[in-house]
Structure 1
Amino acid sequence: MSAGPTDQAILNQLRESRFQLRLLLIRFPGYDRPEILRRLTAYERGERIAPAPIDRSSMRSPRS
């Protein structure tokens, strides 16, 4: 995940430069794309999924 400042003048050169933190870029591995798209599509249809426990079996410990 990365965040960086954006300048309004980039989109409209007649505007005075004014930097803001408005853009948040989150990157996921390509193999997650089908699942992410499935979930976003379901969300757009109004389908809400209740929170559930996280399966951390494939996650590395930060201390590794």
Structure 2
Amino acid sequence: MNKIYINVAPIELNKLLKFESLVASGGEAKMVIENGLVKVNGNVETQKRKKLNIGDNVEFNSEHYIIALAE
């Protein structure tokens, strides 16, 4: 499982995908979320602005990520 380090929690799901370059743009982030291609904590998430906190798990494109606080 990969870790994504953030400085401030919570972070919105669409911003996380964009800032971590998991998608090419904010528009693409919204599209993949709306199409049910992203899971948060094991459940399909369709809320673009879903707030993610430390310890949340994100699954996208057959990859798993855990949100961690940057030290």
Fold equivalence (TM over 0.5): no
Higher strand share: 2
Q: Which has the higher contact order (CA 8 A, sep 6+)?
A: 2
TM-score normalised over the length of structure 1: 0.24
Larger Rg: 1
- Name the one with the larger helix percent: 1
TM-score by length of 2: 0.22
